[in-house]
Amino acid sequence: MDIFAKCHAPAIVYEAKEKGIYPYFHYLTTKQDTQVMMEGRDTVMIGSNNYLGLTSDPRVINAGIEAFKKYGSGCSGSRFLNGTLDIHIALEKELAAFLQKEDVVTFSTGFQSNLGIISAIVGFNDYVICDKENHASIYDGVKLSYGRLVRYEHADMKDLEDKISKLDLSKVGALIITDGVFSMGGDIANLPEIVRIARKYGARVMVDDAHGLGVIGEHGRGTAEYWHLEDEVDIIMGTFSKSLASLGGYMAASKEVCDYVRHASRPFIFSASITPACVACARESLRIIQEEPERRKNLHDISEYMRKQLKANGVDIVESETPIVPIYVYDDLKAFEACKLLFERGVYVNPVVSPATPVGKALLRTSYTATHTKKQIDYAVEQIVAVLKELEVING
């Protein structure tokens, strides 16, 4: 059998291309912002993870430029060897202080962070207990670890306890991993119950807070702060590509755990370090997050406004408290068609189709930014409602 045979197999991608509704790889010619130029169209961006609007903030941009001038374009090596700069160490100390953890390890991407953390911490035959809707990078980290994967139904604490109670943990370890804010549904993990169950059965807890940092919690420290459980979460993972307006990722934990990962994680040891400009942009964004809490309030207010407007127009959404507002369109091809029609009308959203969602539960994933205006939101709502009526997703 030709190993390339799979590349020619029928798939929804080809069907979407044939119908002219393929929704991926649109390109921008401007900064990531609430209003962008995308393939020549002036477009309201409601499909970005730029939650605090810092990717286009002049202070963040200038920080990156100055680091580029001082340190050059890259580090030409791993953090383990020649690729550590003083600003890498400064960023780790500042993140640790902000997250109220003893130490932080930074990685070159968020995806790589989960690969590097899980593959180092989880040993052969250890158990990883995962929410079914955890990010793909978590599942790939488990594969790299040679640990044993146990999945529980999404947000189902009874199923989690049923699953972990059946495991023999007398000679192996267990790590419960959950997204803090789930990237597709926007819901927040039930951390109090997860922590309770972990302590009852002797497991450790890791939270992927990629979509929580800067977004929830009194000071923007994410899911653990939201639930007042910062001391109960053993590992917090996050990314720089969302609220921190950069590229990279991190692990916050005890000094002992962080030092172990630094010396045991192959994705960390054998990858080039974060570029100087990315480090500087993340540091400046972290400073702004702490000094401008009004950004979180604006983000919450604009997200709530969008939810109310959609519901007032009969649009079926997934309820949440976060800036992620998924809209049901149910059918996969209709999701693609809706994205195409909205793009033509100057609104960008993301399709979420099976297997990322159950069959018949396709979504338009919309997400919001602290700097969105009500005028932009009103325009987006008007277009979404019109398109969903045209596609007979809602009544005309």
Going from the C-alpha of 238 to that of each of 101, 172, 227, the distances in angstroms are: 13, 26, 17
Of 258, 291, 324, which closes a domain? Answer: 291
CATH number, domain containing residue 259: 3.40.640.10
Task: Please tell me whether residues 109 and 73 are part of one structural domain.
Answer: yes
The per-residue pLDDT for 282 is 98
pLDDT in tens, 5-29: 888 876 788 889 999 999 999 999 9
Is the pLDDT at 267 greater than 80, yes or no? yes
Q: What is the mean pLDDT of the chain?
A: 96
Residues 26 and 76 in one domain: no
> Of 101, 135, 211, 372, which is the active-site residue?
211
Contact 287, 54 (CB under 8 A): no
Residue 222 and residue 105 in one domain: yes
Q: Kindly name the residue from 135, 242, 334, 340 that is annotated as catalytic.
A: 242
Query: Out of 2-11, 24-33, 41-50, 68-77, which region has the weakest mean confidence (pLDDT)?
Result: 2-11
**Which pLDDT does position 10 carry in this prediction?**
67
Q: What is the pLDDT averaged over residues 60-67? A: 98
User: Is it the case that residue 127 has pLDDT exceeding 70?
Assistant: yes
- Residue 395 covered by a domain: no
163-175, pLDDT tens digit by residue?
999 999 999 999 9
The mean pLDDT of 355-364, rounded to a whole number, is 90
Residue 211 is among the residues annotated as catalytic for this protein: yes
The 10 Å Cβ neighbour count of residue 4 is: 7
Domain match, 248 and 315 both: no
Can you tell me the distance from the alpha carbon of 67 to that of 95, in angstroms, rounded to the nearest whole number?
18
| Per-residue model confidence (pLDDT) at position 396 | 72
In a domain, 396, yes or no: no
Question: Is pLDDT at 382 greater than 90 in this prediction?
Answer: yes
Q: Considering only 88-97, 100-109, 319-328, 355-364, which range has the smallest mean pLDDT? A: 355-364
User: What are the backbone dihedrals phi and psi of residue 174, each rounded to the nearest 5 degrees, phi first?
Assistant: -140, 135
**Domain stop point among 291, 306, 331:** 291
Looking at residue 356, what is its pLDDT? Answer: 83
What's the angle, vertex CA 115, arms to CA 198 and CA 7, rounded to 5? 125
Are residues 124 and 143 located together in one domain of the fold? yes
Domain enclosing residue 363, as ranges: 5-56+293-390
Whether residue 318 sits in one domain with residue 286:
no
Which SS3 state, helix, strand or coil, does residue 47 take? Answer: strand
162 sits in which H/E element:
helix 157-165
Q: Indicate if 274 and 301 belong to the same structural domain.
A: no
- Is 131 inside a domain boundary? yes
228 in active site: no
Give 358's pLDDT tier (boundaries 50, 70, 90).
Answer: confident
| Residue 47 falls inside a structural domain | yes
Question: What is the rounded average pLDDT of the residues 234-241?
Answer: 98
Phi, psi of 130 (to 5 degrees): -120, 140
Residues 183 and 310 in one domain: no
Domain presence at residue 383: yes
| 108 catalytic residue (yes or no) | no
Q: CB–CB of 179/216 below 8 Å?
A: no
Residue 129 lies in a domain: yes
The answer as to whether 364 is a domain residue is yes
Pair (117, 243) in one structural domain: yes
pLDDT of residue 83 exceeding 80, the answer is yes
Would the pTM of this model clear 0.85, i.e. be above it? yes
CA–CA separation, 208 and 226 (whole Å): 14
| Given the residues 48, 108, 145, 183, the one annotated as active site | 183
* Domains contained in the chain, number: 2
Three-point CA angle 203, 209, 212, nearest 5°: 135
Domain annotation covers residue 81:
yes
What is the DSSP-derived secondary structure letter of residue 372? -
CATH number for position 366:
3.90.1150.10
Whether residue 80 is found in the same domain as residue 194:
yes
Examine the domain organization and report whether 100 and 32 are in the same domain: no
Q: pLDDT of 174-193, one tens digit each?
A: 999 999 999 999 999 999 99
Mean pLDDT along residues 321-342: 96
> What order do you get walking across the sheet with 35-38 strand by strand?
35-38, 41-45, 347-348
Say whether both 339 and 200 belong to one domain.
Answer: no
Choose one of 291, 308, 332: the last residue of a domain: 291
In 46-85, alpha helices (H) = 58-71
